[in-house]
Amino acid sequence: MPHAMINFRALFLLILGSLLGSIALAKESESSPRPASGTTSSPSSYVLTNTDRIRVAIFQEDDLSLIARIDSQGRINLPLVGEVAIAGLKIGDAQSAIEAAYRDGRFLRSPRVSISVEEYASREVSIQGQIRSPGRYPLPIESSMTIIELVTRAGGFTDTARGTAVRITRILPDGTKKNFEVDVDSLIKGRRSANVSDNSLVLEPGDIIFVPERFI
């Protein structure tokens, strides 16, 4: 009998300890800071682009924090430092660029900047020419899309397509244009003549892809 009572007492203490631990964890969870209402989390790999609407927060500098849209030149206008170019940068790199602007301008000694995207810009590319389903296609936000993936999504080349000379026109943040020519057909078919670097070419918002017709 004494032995049984000792086991019962040990079991009772174990259950009691477990309950107290659960209560403590619940209270800790309730008291933990939560994200402010209306804020959005943004993937760190996301590359900022023109017309993104972003929140720039500077730790312990509420007067310098703001919500603004990246302009057509890829810049954002910040208090004290003025315009800073951040389009084309990943979020972490853009944070570092803004910190450097405040630090180099001697406005803040050790600024800590955080950026979150409040509203994503329209992220689309268009593909025209000898493709089975021409049109505009959205780019994923948290991952990338290659030219091969776009061609596949658009149904593939037509029978008269010149897939060895697909043209990509890219509008840069400063408004200038850059053109690429990609041998997509060789990439798809795994030919030795295929350029491996073309396979890693990631499409960017606003890219215009044209598939010419093959000369017969």
CATH of 124-211, one of 3.40.50.1010, 3.40.50.300, 3.40.50.2000, 3.10.560.10: 3.10.560.10
Would you place residue 9 in the very low, low, confident or very high pLDDT band (cuts 50, 70, 90)? low
Q: Report, at the CATH architecture level, how domain 53-119 is classified.
A: 2-Layer Sandwich (3.30)
Question: For residue 101, which of 82, 118, 88, 115 has the smallest C-alpha distance?
Answer: 82
Question: For residue 55, which of 34, 73, 35, 72 has the smallest C-alpha distance?
Answer: 35
Task: Give dist(CA 24, CA 76) in Å, integer.
Answer: 45
Would you place residue 122 in the very low, low, confident or very high pLDDT band (cuts 50, 70, 90)? confident
Would you place residue 129 in the very low, low, confident or very high pLDDT band (cuts 50, 70, 90)? very high
Strand, helix or coil at 85? strand
- 190 or 198: which carries more pLDDT confidence? 190
Q: Specify the pLDDT at position 15.
A: 56
Which residues make up the CATH 3.10.560.10 domain(s) of the chain? Answer: 124-211
Query: How many angstroms separate the first and last alpha carbons of the chain?
Result: 100
Task: Give dist(CA 28, CA 51) in Å, integer.
Answer: 40
| Residue whose entry in the numeric block shows the structure tokens 């697909």 | 166
Check: pTM over 0.85? Answer yes or no: no
Tokens at 60, concatenated: 């312990």
Q: Specify the pLDDT at position 136.
A: 95
- Give the mean pLDDT of 7-21: 53
Contact indicator for 123, 131 with CB cutoff of 8 Å? no
Tokens at 136, concatenated: 């505009």
Contact indicator for 142, 43 with CB cutoff of 8 Å? yes
Which residues make up the CATH 3.30.1950.10 domain(s) of the chain? Answer: 53-119
